[in-house]
Amino acid sequence: MNKTAALKFPRLVTSGKKRALKRITLNLTSDEAQNLEKYCEQTGRSATDVIRELIQALP
């Protein structure tokens, strides 16, 4: 990837290590889903990013 593309798309820059991804399904109540959507709108972050960061913060 050239330097310009790396600056425009930093998430596309990869290290030599590949991460294995696993897709999960999460069942939420209507209230939980609304709370998550509201939080994502307020912070400008995706639900995936919010949930991933919460999981990474687990001991």
What is the pLDDT confidence band of residue 59, given thresholds at 50, 70 and 90?
very high
pLDDT value for 7: 58
**Sign of the dihedral defined by the CA atoms of residues 41, 14, 57, 23, in that order:** positive
For residues 29-48, give the mean pLDDT: 97
What is the C-alpha to C-alpha distance for residues 50 and 26, in angstroms, rounded to an integer? 13
What is the C-alpha to C-alpha distance for residues 13 and 27, in angstroms, rounded to an integer? 32
pTM, entire model: 0.63
What is the tens place of the pLDDT at every residue in 2-38?
A: 455 555 655 555 556 777 889 999 999 999 999 999 9
Q: Are 19 and 8 in contact (CB under 8 A)?
A: no
pLDDT value for 18: 76
